[in-house]
Amino acid sequence: MSAKIVALANQKGGVGKTTSAINIAASLAMLEKLVLLVDFDPQGHSTTGLGFRKPDHNAGSYALIKGAPIESLVLTTEVPMLRVVPAGKDLAQMEFELFELPQLQELRNALQPVIDHYDYILIDSPPALGMITLNALTAADEVIVPMPCEFFAMDGLAELAETIRRIQAGPNPKLVLGGILLTMAEERTNLGEAVASEVRQAFPGKVFQTSIPRNIRLAEAPSHGKPVAFYDLKSKGAQAYLNLAREWIGLEFNVSKDYS
């Protein structure tokens, strides 16, 4: 077994990267996959969203790329099959240090010791196309791009696509666009539907069928330190992320009756 490594990336902030990282990770874990979520954003929102304080120096993903053994950094969560490597502000130093000596393989190398241990390793990334995100894309087999159903949704997408192409042409030829995930979808609004169909036309076959609705439970859950399914399982947000996880791993909808 070798984990599938998946980066959540979009250089725009507020598009749903962290919400998707936490809730896809939790959904996969609920579907009995062993999942490691690597918080790779100095803002540490995946960390706090799972109920942890931002780690001190030497206790998070910055320590990981500085050579600390990954096993010593992994935290267990309330979701039995979900683990997390937290992130704090110190990770921001990576942009400056690596800028002087570009090294794109740091994260990939740091994950190697546990790659056979997990089914999935998800990486949450910051809202920038700097060295942190480039390291995430170099480590990944797949990139998922969350995109809100808003007017400017596709703004900046060309730049992200170009970055993905450069990573494919250079350090990581096996990287694939796993899919574009429509987030914050307003149901039954013309704008939301127009944006969704524009994105689907621009990226045929690359947009997940399942989109994530705008749902207040998704915004509330992080302040309780829980994935949405552990905060309000019946909510539309929780069900959407479970459906997405099922779509993504290609399971039938009835595989895990426990969480339907």
Ligand X SMILES: Nc1ncnc2c1ncn2[C@@H]1O[C@H](COP(=O)(O)OP(=O)(O)O)[C@@H](O)[C@H]1O
Q: Which residues bind Mg ion (CB under 5 A)?
A: 17-18, 45
Nearer to Mg ion, 33 or 45 (CB): 45
The sheet carrying 4-8 orders its strands as 75-76, 82-85, 35-39, 120-124, 4-8, 142-148, 176-183
Q: Which does 153 bind (CB under 5 to 8 A by kind): Mg ion, ligand X, none?
A: none
Q: Which does 184 bind (CB under 5 to 8 A by kind): Mg ion, ligand X, none?
A: ligand X
Q: Which does 113 bind (CB under 5 to 8 A by kind): ligand X, Mg ion, none?
A: none
Residue 45 CB, shortest distance to Mg ion, in Å, is 5
Nearer to ligand X, 140 or 171 (CB): 140
Helices (H), 13-118: 17-30, 45-49, 61-65, 93-100, 106-111
Nearer to ligand X, 171 or 226 (CB): 226
Residue 17 CB, shortest distance to Mg ion, in Å, is 5
Q: Which residues pair with residue 38 across a beta bridge?
A: 85, 123
Q: Which residues pair with residue 213 across a beta bridge?
A: 185
Residue 58 CB, shortest distance to ligand X, in Å, is 25
User: In terms of Cα–Cα distance, which of 146, 123, 139, 133 is closest to 174?
Assistant: 139
Residues at the site binding ligand X, with contacts judged by CB under 6 A: 13-19, 45, 127, 183-184, 212, 214-215, 218-219, 222, 237
Instruction: List, as one string, the DSSP characters of 36-53.
Output: EEEE-STT-HHHHHTTPP
